[in-house]
Structure 1
């Protein structure tokens, strides 16, 4: 099992985050609205700091079991 590298600090788009987490567009919307996934906005676009998202996943195991993390493709 791979460990989470919280030192990685890049901004992800909606598409990149959905690919990383293995979730649909609707699920990402729900996570933003109700789930507390950390995000910011640049103009009209949402951005997600990868280190904050990974920390959020580690701190919220009740939600992380529903996500299909694609971290192996990042290495």
Structure 2
């Protein structure tokens, strides 16, 4: 006979309310909400940091330009 009945959950809720009171449970709920928001913000910050690092890497090491092919085209035009 576990906690699978609605009556067991209601009795447990009443006992918790009697022990902690509604004020303390309200603060626990808001603290839990703030913790979840902080966690989401931290996860978003990690993704932003990875994007920023990738952008910095692209700026530091730009892809090779087509100067060699452009130079070859100039040489071929000059020889004509």
TM-score (norm 2): 0.23
Structure with greater proportional strand content: 1
Structure number with bigger Rg: 2
Structure with the larger RCO, 1 or 2 (CA within 8 Å, 6+ apart): 1
TM-score (norm 1): 0.24
Structure with greater proportional helix content: 2
